[in-house]
Structures are given as structure tokens and as C-alpha cells.
């Protein structure tokens, strides 16, 4: 079954576990813009990303967003099964940023496997550690890095992900990724424009001077 290729510990599993996973796994397709998982309201299961791009973010009580990390092909999403981990006391929202396909392994099955198999439990451990490292990296950026450097890095990252220097993205959307207000983004983008680094048009940001942006982002 194709999904075995997306589960890095497949070869370390027992034949019985492999069979249970094979029987339970289902392919889920999500259109770009769809919310795949919403906080504690659901507990879909472990997601093995077959293709596409997902964004994992949190929401403040006032509705402000910040992107924690993104998931790509071959990544595994644990927080869509966070109900099986009693000590996870925060909520995230997972949204398809591009048309995506993923294998879903039901939460209850994953919980059983974690309890029965040290291999699976240690693998879950590695997944949490990776995401924890992502969030620590983000927190250090927020704490110690000025907003101009963060915005420069964000534009360069988007450009790599989209494969173009002409980014179709609104200031509002950038603000939601970075956990700030739209006005703050607009002000900084205008400064970037005045420095010749970008060109702003309606609903789009074009990168003109990649080197200068890179130097700014460090």
C-alpha cells in the first residue's frame, strides 16, 4: 500500500500492526483553504501528507493568528491527533494552503499502537520534539529579531514555496502568518518599496532585490 512509503517507521512495525494500519488508513483530500483540524473540536488522527501544503496556526481570543509551522509532502502531523496526548494543553488549527492529500490514521488506533509499541511511542516523541523545536525557533525570532528582518525572511520563504518572486498575497494574510496587525505589515512593506526591495500592487508583492532582502534577513 502506497501509504507505507509515507510512514518512516513502517519497516520497524510488527506484521500485526502493519495490518491494522493498512486496514484503517484512509486517504483524505482537502481543497486549498479548507480547515482540516480545528482545536479541540475534533481529533481526526495522525496525518501523513501525500501532497500539498498545510499551515498550522493558533488564534488569540481577539481572532489574531500566527503561523507556527508548515507541513509539506512526507511530513507527519501529530496535532490532528492531539487528543491522544493528555499533556498537550493548547489548541492549533490546521488548514490546507494548497490542494492537499493525506493519509489519516485514526487517533484511537494510533493511541493503541503507542501503548503497545516502544517504536511507535519513540516515533511520536520525535515528532513532538520536531514541532517543539519549530515553535522554539519561532519564539526566538519573535523575541530577539526585529520585525523588518522577520518580514524579509518571510517574503523570501514564500518566494521559495511558490516558486516565483511575484507573490500573490495580501498584507492581511502576511499579518496573519506573522502574528501582527495589517497596518504594521503595510508600513514595513512601504519602507521596503522605498528601498527598492519590493514593488507593491493590489493583492501582490513583487520581490525586486532578493540580495538586499537576504542581507536584511541575515
Of 66, 83, 153, 169, the one binding a copy of itself (CB under 8 A) is: 66
Using CA atoms, how far residue 16 sits from 19, 25, 27, 117, in Å, is: 5, 14, 21, 11
Window contacting a copy of itself (CB under 8 A); options: 3-11, 15-23, 110-118, 154-162: 110-118
- The tally of CA atoms less than 13 A away on the side-chain side of residue 35 is 10
By CB under 8 A, residue 133 contacts a copy of itself: yes
Question: Which position has the grid cell 525586486?
Answer: 208
By CB under 8 A, residue 140 contacts a copy of itself: yes
By CB under 8 A, residue 146 contacts a copy of itself: no
Of 4, 138, 156, 208, the one binding a copy of itself (CB under 8 A) is: 138
Kindly tell me which of 78 and 213 has the beta carbon lying closer to a copy of itself.
78
Of 4, 28, 85, 153, the one binding a copy of itself (CB under 8 A) is: 85
Kindly tell me which of 23 and 61 has the beta carbon lying closer to a copy of itself.
61
Of the candidates 132, 48, 36, the one whose C-alpha atom is nearest the C-alpha of residue 87 is 132
Of 37, 50, 55, 131, the one binding a copy of itself (CB under 8 A) is: 131
By CB under 8 A, residue 217 contacts a copy of itself: no
Residue-wise over 78-113: b if at least 16 C-beta within 10 A, else e? bbbbbbbeeeeeeebbbbbbbebebbbbbbebbbeb
Angle at 113 between CA 109 and CA 119, to 5 degrees: 150
d(CA 51, CA 102) in angstroms, rounded, equals: 7
Of 49, 102, 114, 167, the one binding a copy of itself (CB under 8 A) is: 114
By CB under 8 A, residue 181 contacts a copy of itself: no
Q: In sequence order, what E strands does 46-162 have?
A: 46-51, 53-59, 65-72, 76-77, 93-96, 100-105
The residues that touch a copy of itself, with contacts defined as CB under 8 A, are 58, 60-62, 64, 66, 85-90, 114-118, 120-122, 124-133, 135-140, 142-144, 179
Amino acid at each position: 500500500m502506497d501509504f507505507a512509503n509515507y510512514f518512516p517507521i513502517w519497516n520497524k512495525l510488527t506484521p500485526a500492526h502493519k495490518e491494522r494500519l493498512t486496514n484503517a488508513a484512509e486517504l483524505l483530500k482537502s481543497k486549498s483553504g479548507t480547515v482540516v483540524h480545528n482545536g479541540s473540536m475534533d481529533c481526526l488522527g495522525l496525518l501523513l501528507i501525500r501532497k500539498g501544503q498545510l499551515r498550522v496556526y493558533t488564534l488569540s481570543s481577539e481572532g489574531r493568528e500566527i503561523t507556527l509551522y508548515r507541513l509539506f509532502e512526507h511530513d507527519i502531523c501529530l496535532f490532528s491527533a492531539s487528543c491522544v496526548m493528555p499533556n498537550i494543553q493548547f489548541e492549533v488549527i490546521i488548514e490546507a494552503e494548497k490542494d492537499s492529500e493525506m493519509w489519516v490514521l485514526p487517533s484511537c488506533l494510533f493511541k493503541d499502537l503507542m501503548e503497545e509499541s516502544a517504536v511507535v511511542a519513540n516515533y511520536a516523541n520525535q515528532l513532538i520534539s520536531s514541532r517543539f523545536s519549530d515553535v522554539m525557533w519561532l519564539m526566538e525570532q519573535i523575541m530577539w529579531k526585529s520585525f523588518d528582518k522577520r518580514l524579509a525572511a518571510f517574503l523570501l520563504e514564500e518566494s521559495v514555496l511558490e516558486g516565483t518572486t511575484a507573490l500573490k498575497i495580501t498584507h492581511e494574510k502576511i499579518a496573519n502568518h506573522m502574528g501582527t496587525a495589517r497596518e504594521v505589515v503595510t508600513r514595513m512593506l512601504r519602507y521596503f518599496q522605498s528601498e527598492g526591495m519590493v514593488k507593491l500592487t493590489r493583492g501582490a508583492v513583487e520581490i525586486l532585490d532578493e540580495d538586499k532582502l537576504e542581507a536584511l534577513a541575515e
